[in-house]
Structure 1
Amino acid sequence: MIDAGVSLLVDGGWPAVTTRAVAERAGTNIGLIHYHFGGLPGLHSAIASRAADEIITPIIDALLDAPDFAAALDTVRALVSATPGDGRMMRLAVELMPGALRDPAMGEVLRDGLRQARARIGERLGELHPSWSEARRTGAATVIVALLDGLMLHRLLDTSLPVDETLDALADLIEDRS
């Protein structure tokens, strides 16, 4: 049912995600939606959780798999450059934000996904920089997640965004290259 809901979200946004449409797409009856999710609000939260996971987890996994800073920048470069080409991910991202702002339960789901992403990045920063305090790791993780989010949004809105130049400038700033 959740997969059916995510599919409907991609196809038509939140207005398309009704109990009837989800039941029909999933090949089940509406009663099961009420039984498992307590109704449409619970179903929407479950769909938002799955959609957020589809968007956030692969990006964070790819970033955390990078062995060093240069590889991490290359990963970000590839992810941001591919942003406009992945229509499914972009549609989910575009639908999640207003849904999260309108519905407190969906907002909590999205906030939780972002908290988990920051925590995972913070853990990796702790491995790479054991002398950093938890506060410093948390701050750096927050900047990294915001940077990814912002770059992807800007790339979605402007496909001519100079991604390479932007990330080269970031590397220069971090490594204090002149």
Structure 2
Amino acid sequence: MSVTATERGREVRRRLLQAARELVPERGWAGVSTRVVAERAGVAPGLVHYHFASLQALLTEAAVGAMRDAVGAAAPLLERARTPGELVDLLVAEVDRYTGADPASLLATETYLAATRDAALHRELAEVLEDFRSRIAAWLQAHGVGEPDATAAVLAAAIDGVLLHRALAPQPAGAIGPVLQRIVTHHGGC
């Protein structure tokens, strides 16, 4: 069975996106060049601009895709949690998977920083964050937590903050669990 040009093109795009996801944490957003990403992907540099409008477009798609994947990982937690307290426990346990210096944490940090300087990236990343907050707020509302939007915003900010702080001052996320528990239970949660 022969591979079609469309399939080859999809594979090149996938490899370029994967290379960008690996390189941003290694080199920093500004340290990734067309040549370096093409080399990592094992393709000619011209293919970067064939498949993406610019290097920035490639980096944005790769990073935002990784952030969407991370937000998507919360869906099973929302399905498993039976109470607001249990949701907090599951979210805190999820945070403990990251060290702050691991590639996923570094990619998130670099993406947040780059979004402060790039309006298009800022918009896309804000959509991902809003999706995360909305999912949590809907769950909190369904489980009787008062002020679900504000509570979801605080939970999301706490999760992000712990991840960002871990790179500088690692400590177990479990230390914030009791504080977050009070937030969801003092707002009418179970």
**Same structural fold, with TM-score higher than 0.5 when normalized by the shorter chain:** yes
Q: Which is helix-richer, 1 or 2?
A: 1
The CA distance in 1 between the partners of 2:100 and 2:152, in whole Å, is 26
Counterpart residue number, 1:168 = 178
1:1-40 correspondence runs (5 A) = 1-40=16-55
Question: Gapped runs of 5+ residues in structure 1?
Answer: none
SS in 2 for 1:102: coil
Is the Cα–Cα contact under 8 Å of residues 55 and 93 in structure 1 kept in the other structure? no
The worse-fitting range, judged by mean Cα deviation, of 35-44 and 81-90 is: 81-90
| Paired residue type of 2:67 | A
Using CA pairs under 8 Å that are at least 6 residues apart, name the structure with larger relative contact order, 1 or 2.
2
CA deviations on 1:80-109 (whole Å, 9 max, x unpaired) are 333317611121122112111122222222
SS in 2 for 1:83: coil
| Paired residue type of 2:78 | L
Question: Gapped runs of 5+ residues in structure 2?
Answer: 1-15
1:52-63 correspondence runs (5 A) = 52-58=67-73, 60-63=74-77
What is the TM-score normalised by the length of structure 1?
Answer: 0.79
Distance 1:139 1:23, change over 3 A: same
What is the TM-score normalised by the length of structure 2?
Answer: 0.75
The CA distance in 2 between the partners of 1:107 and 1:52, in whole Å, is 13
Identity of aligned residues (%): 31
Is the Cα–Cα contact under 8 Å of residues 56 and 117 in structure 1 kept in the other structure? yes
Aligned-CA RMSD value: 2.6
Which among 103, 121, 143 is matched to residue 88 of structure 1? 103
Which among 117, 124, 129 is matched to residue 132 of structure 2? 117
User: Which stretches of structure 1, 4 residues or more, deviate above 4 A after TM superposition?
Assistant: none
**How many angstroms does 1:111 deviate by?**
1.0
CA deviations on 1:33-66 (whole Å, 9 max, x unpaired) are 22322122211221221232244332x2354132
Counterpart residue number, 1:154 = 165
